[in-house]
Amino acid sequence: MTIGVIGVGRMGWPMAARVVEAGMEVVGTDARAEVVAKLPQIGVRTAESPKQVSEQASTTILMVMNAAQADEAIWGPDGFAEGATPDSVLVTMASLPATYVQQLAVKAAGLFSVVDCPVSGGVEGAEAGTLTLMVAGDPATVDRIEPVLAAVGSRVFRIGKTPGLGCVMKSINQAMFLSSLVTCAEMVLTGVKAGLDPDVVVEVVSKSSGDSWALRNRLPLVWRNDYVSGGALDLMVKDIGGALTLADELGVDSTVTKAAARIVQEGYDAHHGLGDDPLIIQTMEERNGVLLRPAS
């Protein structure tokens, strides 16, 4: 079985490597020629276009930045659709709008199958093969690609049969994560201003009722890793915005999440969308006149 990967960036690269390690042949491509040239380093055959990937692979992972890139990779010149057959499976693991994936599945009917499968766990999870996968699609098709899913993730949740539901789940997960990150930062900043050591705050709260993944795995990177996480800041704005759009469309009052989104946008604007998600907290440090640093 040959597996394709379209988009071998910070997430796609380690995911492709995990599939190779699982014993499958992998062919990959990316919009950046310099990235494609390095793929043999991890045992991945190179392809010049998404079309060449779909001509060789039975199942292809799509890991791009947004819907515009997805559309170009699938339907553009030399796109995936041009080389696909009705037996081809496209697994959309990127964070895409639910409506886009729903429409993609309809448009692809009879040409190729679509499995909606966004992931959570960041670059760390991609490298370790411990991603959480949120899968929506035809059950028989999902059964068929199970070995691929198992190669990149350790937790596979079948969300439903309709493509798009996985994206809904990923969207609300990201909104919860970012809202948690912002509230954690506010309170740790409060503790530091009051004289507490931030490492002590994280240790105590992580074993108490205020615990969260954001507190343990993102906030400390502010002072432990110089604001670097592998979670791209520009994606955070897109993700929380998508969740709020969905909430508005469904008539859900999302007052707290909207407040968090304003902080996320502020961090994005301050850093021109460059860098990683802990930079959201750097903006909060500057506003409050205190740095989150352990006592020396």
Walking along the chain (296 residues) 10 residues at a time, the average pLDDT comes out as 95 97 98 96 97 98 95 98 98 94 97 97 92 97 97 96 96 96 97 96 98 96 94 90 94 97 96 94 95 80
Task: List residues bridging with 115 in a β-sheet.
Answer: 91
Q: Read off the pTM.
A: 0.90
Place of tokens 């990923």: 170
Domain(s) of CATH 1.10.1040.10: residues in the chain: 168-288
Q: Which residues contact 47 (CB under 8 A, 6 or more apart)?
A: 4, 27, 28, 29, 36, 53, 56
Per CATH, the number for 168-288 is 1.10.1040.10
Task: List residues bridging with 119 in a β-sheet.
Answer: 133
Q: Residue 38 is which amino acid?
A: K
Active site residue 51: no
Of 51, 107, 161, 170, the active-site residue reads 170
What is the per-residue pLDDT for 296? 61
Cβ pair 146, 133 in contact under 8 A:
no
Instruction: Check the CA dihedral 215-219-221-224 and report its sign.
Output: negative
What is the per-residue pLDDT for 295? 67
Nearest 5°: phi and psi at 112? Answer: -165, 165
Tell me the C-alpha distance between 24 and 58, whole Å: 12
Domain(s) of CATH 3.40.50.720: residues in the chain: 2-163
3-state secondary structure at position 155: strand
CATH number for domain 2-163, candidates 1.10.10.60, 3.40.50.2020, 3.30.70.330, 3.40.50.720: 3.40.50.720
Computed on alpha carbons and rounded to an integer, the radius of gyration of the chain in Å comes to 20
What is the per-residue pLDDT for 51? 98
